[in-house]
Amino acid sequence: MIEAADIVAMLSERVSKRDTYQPKGNKQIQELIEYLFETIQTFLSTSSFEIYDESTLDQIDSSDKFSGNESQASEDNQELESEEEIEDNEEQMDSTEEEEENDDKQPTRKFSLDYMKQNDLPNMKSFSLTSFYYLTDRYDTEILPLFRHIPNLEELTLYIMVYDRTTFIDGTHIYNEILVHLPRLHIFNFYISTCPKMDHLVHHLSKDDIQRTLINNIKYQPVDCIVNSEYKFPQCHVFSLPFMFERLNDIGNTFPNIIFNHVRKLSVKDNFPFKREFFKRIAFSFPLLKDLCVVNSNPQSSISDERNSNDNQLYSIVKLNYLNSLFLVNVHIDYVDQFLNERKTHLPRLTVLAIDDNHLTIVTDNFTKDTTRLNCINVKKLELFNERVTTHSKDFYVYFPLLKS
């Protein structure tokens, strides 16, 4: 795998050859290279970003992880040559996860996107693709064609998010574009999210419509969907059950009454207020949740009234016992009170908090309010939006004793 420094070196070499006659431009380009260096370093720190060779430099916006399991049954010369190429590819990669040694399992190999686009892999039995960033036209031009090269696949895992389409991806699309090319498939775990721009959405299917297409076209295991059409950008999530992935992004007030035991990272957003019952459902449906991001700028009059009242014992407490990180991004102040007030939410493991500085000051009564103290006491990392001061009061550090003064 190419490191960030290698990419920057290649970019610098190309720039120096092309622009040596433009001294002013060189300074701007050097600043751009330094910015790219920081950006690439950030991406490379995630387990889902891999670059295999220089030919993929034009695709550095990707964050796709491809892995395959290819049978070694056939040994003709052509396949041996392919295996040698694959081994050469493997030498360029760093493993992102530790794999347990098991003699009974077929060896797992990872392939570059370019390799899979140019070669048939008839012996591949298992294929996994994970992308934590939105794909645009690359989904149609680079991802879908891959399935024509692995006709004997038996197990498929997909986690992909697609942006800027004219239609939601539903069961009919999955069958016609993916499953029809995989006649031997018998295990299919997937999560596919579609986020078209509103003005690009030609055909807006309802949740019931999409659910019918899933049931009619995907027979391997139970399936479900979530349609969040109330946010400024409508979004559709289709997935297999049980949900096997650690991340679920951008769900709204409506989601199925099932348990997501594997989900550790969740983001929620909606144009309608999140009532306390919503967060109780979140706590129930995501029992092992560690990271939560909330986006909702709509006030809740009932919660606002509660915030000014001393009687909060009428409601049961939302218990998020494993939550480590809480990001309150572009939220109404009601949600700050919802999470920090120990009479409303229990956060015994909260260590990372991202929040608006003014909201935090108001809800904690300038870091003197006892009912919001307990949920803050274990915070080790505090990110303040719109921070007004650089030096904090003594009460602030008493409130957050694990922060360095």
Q: Residue 336: which CATH number?
A: 3.80.10
Q: Does 382 fall in a domain?
A: yes
Mark whether 258 and 240 lie in a shared domain.
no
The answer as to whether 97 is a domain residue is: no
Last residue of a domain, one of 210, 245, 280: 245
| Residue 381 confidence (pLDDT) | 97
On whether both 136 and 153 belong to a single domain, the answer is yes
Mean pLDDT of the 175-197 span: 94
Is residue 77 a part of any domain in this protein?
A: no
Dist CA 257 CA 240 (whole Å): 14
Structural domain includes residue 26: yes
Show Cβ contacts of residue 72 under 8 Å, excluding neighbours closer than 6 positions: 106, 107, 123
Do 202 and 212 belong together in one domain?
A: yes
Q: Are residue 366 and residue 261 in the same domain, yes or no?
A: yes
Residue, of 15 and 340, whose pLDDT is higher: 340
Is the model's pLDDT at 181 over the cut of 60? yes
Measure the CA–CA gap between 58 and 369, rounded to whole angstroms.
53
Read off the pLDDT band of 195 (50, 70, 90).
Answer: confident
Q: What is the mean pLDDT of the chain?
A: 77
Domain membership of residue 235 (yes or no) is yes
* Structural domain containing residue 3: 1-45
For the segment 61-69, the average pLDDT, to the nearest whole number, is 44
Burial class (CB in 10 A: 0-12, 13-18, 19+), 49: buried
Domain co-membership, 178 together with 250: no
- The answer to whether residues 335 and 318 belong to one domain is yes
**Do residue 18 and residue 162 come from a single domain?**
no
**Candidate from 61-70, 185-194, 234-243, 318-327 with smallest mean pLDDT:** 61-70
* Residue 274 and residue 405 in one domain: yes
Q: Could you read off the pLDDT of 268-312 as tens digits, one per residue?
A: 999 899 999 999 999 999 999 999 999 999 998 665 555 555 545
CB 274 within 8 A of CB 296: yes
Reduce the DSSP state of residue 235 to 3 states and report it.
Answer: strand
Whether the link from the prior residue into 183 is cis, omega within 30° of 0, is no
Same domain, 14 and 144: no
In the chain, how long is the greatest CA-to-CA distance?
A: 79
Look at residues 245, 273, 291 and tell me which one is the last residue of a structural domain.
245
Residues 301 and 235 in one domain: no
Please indicate, yes or no, if residue 76 is contained in any of the structural domains.
no
DSSP output for 3-41: -HHHHHHHHHHHHHHH-TT-HHHHHHHHHHHHHHHHHHH
> How many domains is the chain partitioned into structurally?
3
Mean pLDDT value across residues 77-97: 35
**What's the pLDDT tens digit per position in 321-332?**
999 999 998 999
- Model pTM above 0.75: no
Stretch (H or E) spanning 108 = strand 108-109
Q: Do the domain assignments include residue 35?
A: yes
Q: Residue 102 pLDDT > 80, yes or no?
A: no
Residue with tokens 């904690």: 364
179 and 55 share a domain? yes
311 and 214 share one domain: no
Q: Would residue 404 count as lying in a domain? A: yes
Q: 228, 245, 262: which is the final residue of a domain?
A: 245
108, pLDDT greater than 80: no
- What band does 135 get if pLDDT is binned at 50, 70 and 90? confident
